[in-house]
């Protein structure tokens, strides 16, 4: 599943292409993936795009908003009129690097293939000839149509905790949460979407490695300084991910012709049995049902 950095990168890529565009027509091939009336979207202009945790909110004129979650295998692929018209004539390599396409979500060849395909469930046609496709292999993702004023009251958004970059995401904030479930492992705490929204498995492991904290420790055993280090480290590994265009390990990102390279800079994630820079050997275990990578030597 794409995590905060990858969704933010898709957001930034789409922002450049579709804000200001007017929707001409919407085609829904699988009803459950677009919930609400597609007719409401016709002739509406894209005003802005927001991200909250791993979700996108696209605000349209007429006080309409779309809530989009890619979940495990969702993909959003935008192609300009030029790309739509000439895609078949472009070689596979140039397709990947085409600035006429923005693609994010689950990595697959569909992103550079011909669209629509059998996994395309919704298609947005813009008046200028550009097209936005929503593909989803396993169909856990969704697009929901709301009145903009309803967005503020949605449980799925209100249940989320602070964004890791929120200035209120402090050691004191984490300590308050930990006091309610003192024995929960620190990795589970930071991955809990009601605590830090948008942090998933990759950035939890990388953040804890950067902070030199074992993912297996109970929250109650962590000092304020250690919690502070964790918050700083989550931000710094995410900063790094923005720099490298996100991770294509679980998420192929191709906004503005750039493929995510963060996976080449993972220090710990999926590096089982490799040597840590401290000389220790990286281990894999399971925390809260998720594969967890850590160095038993330098992560205390
Ligand atoms: Zn180490």
163 is a domain residue: no
In terms of domains, do 147 and 66 share one?
yes
Is it the case that residue 107 has pLDDT exceeding 50? yes
Which of the following is catalytic: 52, 54, 187, 229?
Answer: 54
Q: Does the residue 181 lie in any domain?
A: yes
The CATH number for 265's domain is 1.10.8.50
Check: CB of residue 256 under 8 Å from CB of residue 104: no
For residue 120, tell me if it sits in a domain: yes
Q: Are residues 93 and 216 in the same domain?
A: no
Answer yes or no: do 131 and 194 share one domain: no
| Position 261 in a domain | yes
Segment 173-194 mean pLDDT: 98
- Among the listed residues 258, 284, 290, 296, the single catalytic one is 290
pLDDT tens-place string over residues 81-91: 988 888 878 87
Cα(279)–Cα(217) distance, integer angstroms: 21
Q: Is residue 299 part of a domain?
A: no
Q: Using one digit for the tens of pLDDT, what is the confidence trace for 202-211?
A: 999 999 999 9
Same domain, 109 and 210: no
Higher pLDDT, 130 or 263: 130
Residue 230 predicted with pLDDT over 70: yes
Q: Do 8 and 148 belong together in one domain?
A: yes
What's the pLDDT score for residue 214? Answer: 98
- 294 C-alpha to center of ligand 1: Å? 8
Q: Is position 31 within any domain?
A: yes
Residue 166 within any structural domain of the chain:
no
* Mean pLDDT, residues 235-259: 74
Instruction: Provide mean pLDDT across the span 214-222.
Output: 98
Choice among 2, 107, 164, 215 that is catalytic: 2
pLDDT tens digits along 9-52: 899 989 999 999 999 999 999 999 999 999 999 999 999 999 99
Judge contact between 161 and 54, C-beta under 8 A: no
Q: 1 CA distance to ligand 1 centroid (A)? A: 27
Residue 167: which residues within 8 A CB-CB, separation 6 or more? none
Q: Given this model, what pLDDT does residue 112 score?
A: 77
Does residue 62 sit in the same domain as residue 141? Answer: yes
Are 246 and 6 spatial neighbours (Cβ–Cβ below 8 Å)? yes
d(CA 275, ligand 1 centre) in Å: 8
Do 290 and 183 share a structural domain?
Answer: yes
Query: Is residue 2 flagged as an active site residue?
Result: yes
Q: In the structure encoding, which two tokens stand for residue 36, read together?
A: 């609400």
| pLDDT bucket at 226, cuts 50 / 70 / 90 | very high
Q: How far is the CA of 238 from the centre of ligand 1 (A)?
A: 20
pLDDT at position 96? 65
Instruction: Label residue 251 by pLDDT band (50, 70, 90).
Output: very low
Residue 104 banded pLDDT, cuts 50, 70, 90? confident
256 and 110 assigned to the same domain: no
Q: What is the mean pLDDT of residues 228-246?
A: 94
Going from the Cα of 272 to the center of ligand 1, the distance in angstroms, rounded, reads: 12
Q: Give me the pLDDT at residue 99, please.
A: 73
pLDDT exceeds 80 at position 94 = no
Q: Both tokens of residue 235?
A: 């931000």
Residues 141 and 189 in one domain: no
The answer to whether residues 9 and 128 belong to one domain is yes
Q: What is the pLDDT of residues 115-158, one digit of tens each?
A: 999 999 999 999 999 999 999 999 999 999 999 999 999 999 99
pLDDT at 250: 47
Report the pLDDT value the prediction gives residue 89, as an integer from 0 to 100.
83
Domain annotation covers residue 165: no
pLDDT of 258: 62
Question: In this structure, are 227 and 86 located in the same domain?
Answer: no
Residue that terminates a domain, selected from 158, 183, 200: 158
| C-alpha 268 to ligand 1 mean position (Å) | 9
The neighbourhood of ligand 1, an ion, using CB within 5 A, equals 276, 278, 280, 295, 297-298
Candidate list 3, 6, 8, 206, residue with the active-site label: 3
* Choice between 244 and 281, residue whose per-residue pLDDT is larger: 281
| SS3 state at 61 | coil
Quick check: is 54 catalytic?
yes
The packing angle between helices 171-180 and 224-243, to 10°, is: 120
The tally of domains found in the chain comes to 2
Which structural domain, as residue segments, surrounds residue 252?
A: 171-294
* Closest-CA residue to 253 (of 10, 5, 3, 4): 10
> pLDDT tens digits, residue range 273-292?
999 999 999 999 999 999 99
Average pLDDT of the chain? 92
Task: Please give the distance, rounded to the nearest whole angstrom, from the Cα atom of residue 262 to the centre of ligand 1.
Answer: 20
CA dist 53 and 278 (Å) reads 33
pLDDT at 263 over 70: yes
Query: Any idea what the CATH number is for the domain that residue 33 is in?
Result: 3.20.190.10
Whether residue 138 sits in one domain with residue 234: no
DSSP H stretches of helix in 159-272: 171-180, 186-191, 201-211, 224-243
**3 Cα to the center of ligand 1, angstroms:** 25
From residue 168, give the alpha-carbon distance in Å to each of 41, 221, 223. Answer: 36, 22, 18
């Amino acid at each position: 599943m794409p995590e905060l950095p990858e969704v933010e990168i898709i957001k930034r890529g789409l922002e450049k292409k579709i804000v200001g565009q007017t929707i001409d027509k919407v085609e829904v091939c699988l009803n459950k993936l677009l919930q609400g009336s597609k007719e409401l979207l016709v002739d509406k202009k894209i005003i802005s795009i927001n991200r909250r945790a791993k979700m996108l909110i696209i605000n349209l004129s007429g006080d309409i908003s779309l809530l989009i979650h890619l979940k495990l295998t969702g993909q959003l692929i935008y192609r300009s009129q030029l790309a739509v018209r000439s895609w078949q004539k472009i070689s596979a390599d140039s397709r990947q690097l085409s600035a006429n396409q923005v693609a994010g979500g689950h990595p697959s060849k569909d992103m550079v293939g011909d669209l629509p395909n059998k996994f395309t469930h919704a298609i947005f046609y813009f008046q200028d000839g550009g097209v936005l496709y929503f593909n989803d292999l396993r169909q856990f993702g969704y697009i929901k149509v709301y009145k903009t004023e309803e967005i503020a009251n949605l449980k799925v958004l209100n249940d989320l905790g602070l964004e890791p970059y929120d200035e209120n995401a402090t050691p004191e904030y984490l300590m308050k949460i930990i006091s309610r479930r003192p024995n929960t492992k620190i990795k589970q705490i930071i991955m809990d979407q009601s605590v830090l929204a948008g942090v998933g498995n990759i950035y939890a492991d990388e953040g804890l490695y950067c902070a030199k904290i074992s993912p297996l420790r109970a929250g109650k055993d962590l000092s304020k300084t250690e919690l502070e280090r964790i918050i700083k480290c989550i931000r710094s590994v995410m900063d790094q991910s923005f720099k490298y265009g996100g991770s294509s390990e679980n998420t192929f990102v191709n906004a503005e012709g750039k493929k995510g390279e963060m996976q080449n800079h993972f220090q710990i994630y999926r590096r089982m049995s490799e040597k840590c820079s401290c000389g220790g050997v990286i281990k894999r275990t399971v925390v809260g049902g998720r594969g967890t990578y850590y160095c038993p030597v330098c992560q205390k």
